Amino acid sequence: MLTSRFAPSPTGRLHLGHAFSAVFAHQSARSPGGRFLLRIEDLDQTRSRPEFVDAIEEDLRWLGLEWDGEPVVQSSRSGAYSQALEKLKAMGLAYPCFCTRSDIAAALSAPHGPPGSLYPGTCRGLPDDAKRRASTAHSWRLDSTKAIERAGLPGWTEQDGRRFTAVAAEIDDEILARKDAPASYHLACVVDDAASGVTLVVRGIDLRASTPVQRLLQDILGLPEPFYLHHPLVVHEDGRRLAKRDLAPTLQALRQSGVDGAELARNLAGGALPSGFRLAEA
Ligand code: GLU
């Protein structure tokens, strides 16, 4: 059955951009009689707060968006993520990485691009003794070169039927898990989408860069391939992105100013945004 999901991180109040994404995901599944799921992506324990989980549910109800079943909460799913990580290790496609964030930032100083955007490969192919130190690793990374050799370059299909094939440069040796987190966003996302039977991943065009590596992980782990719908982003009229720290466009603020949630959801579904905002493709 067509199944979509909305997967917010409880690190702040939802804003208009989240509402647009949730409405889109809800509509894409429910209009043809499918399921709409809610997933709480709370693996970043330093930034996630239980009160924001309640706020997400409150905001979605205000918009009139009901989800099917209980929300999936990522912090309770470590076992499933560890299993997937062990599988990748056993296939020789994950390696321990001892680099700290600042090591990586230093290795990536200009002219290679913005710090932190790509992993320079420092720990890839370390000699065997590194394996003994694996328990002190900061993180585990995907060996993207070996993974592509094994599974081929991944492709994906947008809901409108357009087929894309990734290029190798779009796929980094992404972090799969960290010392302090059982899974990275990418690993948790593919494990959970598969476990929940998600067949349509609806998310903003800003997350389009995550799709190649997630499709590769699905191919390697033998998980089903969903369709994708990367929607435009809600931005301020002057082009500024909406940020969680912006107080004005939170759904809570709109509710408190007397906006009707169901009407807002209907307008968003028709692509009509409140004044002061517009859609942007990137
Ligand atoms: N948790 C992500 C976010 O809030 C969404 C991830 C996804 O939809 O794949 O941006």
Question: Using one digit for the tens of pLDDT, what is the confidence trace for 13-29?
Answer: 999 999 999 999 999 99
Question: Using one digit for the tens of pLDDT, what is the confidence trace for 222-231?
Answer: 999 999 999 9
Q: Distance between CA atoms of 91 and 31, rounded to whole angstroms?
A: 41
Domain-embedded: residue 243: yes
Q: Say if ligand 1 is within 6 A of residue 192 CB.
A: no
Provide the residue range defining the domain that includes 266. 3-76+232-280
Q: Distance between CA atoms of 127 and 168, rounded to whole angstroms?
A: 25
Q: Is 244 a catalytic residue?
A: yes
Question: Using one digit for the tens of pLDDT, what is the confidence trace for 111-146?
Answer: 444 444 578 888 888 876 766 566 778 899 999 999
pLDDT for 104 equals 67
Q: Distance between CA atoms of 137 and 35, rounded to whole angstroms?
A: 40
CATH number of the domain enclosing 105: 3.90.800.10
Q: Nearest 5°: phi and psi at 248?
A: -55, -55
Q: Distance between CA atoms of 171 and 166, rounded to whole angstroms?
A: 8
pLDDT band for 110, please (50, 70, 90 cuts): very low
Beta pairing, strands 72-73 & 3-6: unpaired
pLDDT for 102 equals 73
Atom of ligand 1 nearest to the CA of 8: 4
Among protein residues, the one with the nearest Cα to ligand 1's atom 3 is 8
Predicted TM-score (pTM) of this structure: 0.93
**For the chain, what is the domain count?**
2
Are both 238 and 148 inside the same structural domain? no
CATH number of the domain enclosing 22: 3.40.50.620
Question: Using one digit for the tens of pLDDT, what is the confidence trace for 198-241?
Answer: 999 999 999 999 999 999 999 999 999 999 999 999 999 999 88
